[in-house]
Amino acid sequence: MAVEVTPALACGASVTDHVHLFVSAPPKFSPAEIVRLFKGIPSRRLKKEFESLRRQYWGKNATLWAEGYDVGTAGHVSAETIKRYIEESQKKSFQGLRYQNNCATFSSMKLIAQVKLLPTPEQANALRQTIEQANAACQFVSDTAWETKTFRQYDLHHRCYQAVREQFGLSAQVTVRAIAKVADAYKLDRKRKRAFKPTGSIAYDDRILSWRLHDNTVSIWTIAGRQRIPFACGERQFELLQTRQGESDLGLCNGMFFLSATCEVEEPEPIDIEGALGVDLGVTNIAVDSDGQVHSASHINNVRHRHRRLRRKLQAKGTRSAKRKLKRLSGKERRFAKDTNHRISKKLVAKAKDTNRAIALEDLQGIRSRVTVRRSQRATLHSWAFYQLRSFVTYKAKQAGIPVVLVDPRNTSRTCPACGHIDKANRPNQSTFSCVVCGFAGFADHIAAVNISRRAVVNPPIVAHHEAKANQSLELRQSAVTSHLL
């Protein structure tokens, strides 16, 4: 590696709060020297030098190496030792480590498994009260924070802990979590008072929630004491739960209780690929691939149109019951689109995998600053369903070891794949492409997908990172747009 010191970092593996490093160095360096050398490297330079590690360890909340780092043990490490280390880690349910080129590499992705709780009416009551009390506590802490201008978690804890315990009947752990949640909220912005919805989801860690996968139940803390509650989930979710780690969220949606658990899944090794399956995502035919296959969702649009009419009527009415109906409608529409997006993305990824191709999508980062955005895109840029499909394709591809390549979106629908002529006139209308120079013609979205596929230069790691980053900001945008729709 390109660090000036001679010992080189062979690999690293991050464990919850620290990182394991394997360093290879010539024999003239003593272990103590190696430790000193690495400790002496400023974190800024480390971040710069170890670009690949940075991708893995400098996530949204990761503060690894922010204040320098430490190597706990030093000594000679043989290939055997590293292999043993990997085996041991896997035993400790720390998965995702793999032996590669004489070192252990860590690659995993976080997925959310969602299960539905099946409480008795009494348990449902307890769960609801717990959620309401926890959120009321958050609101209380937020009020205090705002009034006293106390925003740091430590200070808030001192100021509110006792009062929250006494007033809201919450356990110590739930109280700590509520305070942390408020402190987190103010971390983003201290200029605005934070409000907490009465039924917002609340976080549980292993101390207040335990999963019993052998009989599909959880033991969960509520204000009416700990409850053993059965849960239901699909096969895939159940499989995911085996790798669950850390926190779960308890949420209430349409009168039903859900637990969302964070699961750490090993990322499969990338498969050997040749070429890319270009995918054009649009409104009319949700996805068209470069083979010309239309992953049609005409029924989605039908439903949407029907809903739009209904929505207008209800909005005009404006009564309370009309508002309730509107809310139900948008939930229904969202679930429907989500289901369709799952199906389409699954089909696309399966196709790419079967034909050993990467998936190419248009790169939408920074698209607002470009002038030549297609109309179909402009319409969908603000649609969360469109973004959802993109993110589904991306994570499903990642799970299947298929690289996702992002290409320059400029003129994908105006470029002639036969002669390369770029002209607005090549696209006489929404659905047709007809080259004004050579006469090559076809279905416009298909042509766009072909162009996308051709622009793809298969370069997996960079792209995967890029898209993951894009998805973070996407989530924010999605929620903003969703509430706007309601």
d(CA 365, CA 406): 10
Nearer to Zn ion, 379 or 419 (CB): 419
Query: Residue 436, interface with Zn ion (CB under 5 A)?
Result: no
Kindly state whether residue 419 participates in binding Zn ion, applying the rule CB under 5 A: yes
238's CB contacts (< 8 A; 6+ apart) are 113, 213
- Cβ proximity to Zn ion, 310 vs 419, nearer residue: 419
- Decide if residue 422 touches Zn ion (CB under 5 A): no
CA distance 72 to 64: 15
CB neighbours of residue 84 within 10 Å: 11
What is the C-alpha separation between 219 and 212, in angstroms, rounded?
A: 8
- Farthest-apart Cα atoms in the chain, separation: 82
Beta-sheet pairing, 358-362 with 404-407: parallel
With respect to Zn ion, which residue has the nearer C-beta, 374 or 414? Answer: 414
Q: Is the CB of 237 or the CB of 413 nearer to Zn ion?
A: 413
Q: At closest approach, how far in Å is the CB of 421 from Zn ion?
A: 5
In the list 85, 151, 440, 443, the residue contacting Zn ion (rule: CB under 5 A) is 440
Q: Pick the closer one to Zn ion by CB: 420 or 461.
A: 420
Q: Is 450 in the site for Zn ion (CB under 5 A)?
A: no
115-123, 188-196, 338-346, 420-428 -> range binding Zn ion (CB under 5 A): 420-428
Smallest distance from Zn ion to CB 414, Å: 11
Q: Please answer whether residues 108 and 96 qualify as being in contact, where contact means their C-beta atoms are separated by less than 8 angstroms.
A: yes
Nearer to Zn ion, 233 or 444 (CB): 444
- H or E segment at 256? strand 256-266
Dist. CA 457–CA 207, nearest whole Å: 47
82, 97, 145, 435: which one binds Zn ion (CB under 5 A): 435
Total site size for Zn ion, rule CB under 5 A? 8
Apex 345 CA angle, 339 and 348, nearest 5: 145
Which residues from 358-417 bind Zn ion, rule CB under 5 A?
A: 416
Min separation Cβ 434 and Zn ion, Å: 9
- C-beta separation of 74 from 32 below 8 A: yes
C-alpha distances (whole Å) from 302 to each of 21, 284, 309, 336 are: 55, 11, 11, 12
Residues 6+ apart with CB under 8 A from 375: 430
Q: Which of 421, 454, 465, 466 binds Zn ion (CB under 5 A)?
A: 421
For the segment 53-112, give every residue that binds Zn ion (CB under 5 A).
Answer: none
Does 454 interact with Zn ion (rule: CB under 5 A)? no
Token look-up 């980053």 returns 469
Which of these ranges, 37-45, 241-249, 387-395, 427-435, lies near Zn ion under the rule CB under 5 A? 427-435
- In whole angstroms, how close is the CB of 423 to Zn ion at the nearest point? 9
- The 10 Å Cβ neighbour count of residue 231 is 23
Q: Which of 437, 458, 468, 481 binds Zn ion (CB under 5 A)?
A: 437
- Site residues for Zn ion per CB under 5 A: 416, 418-419, 421, 435, 437-438, 440
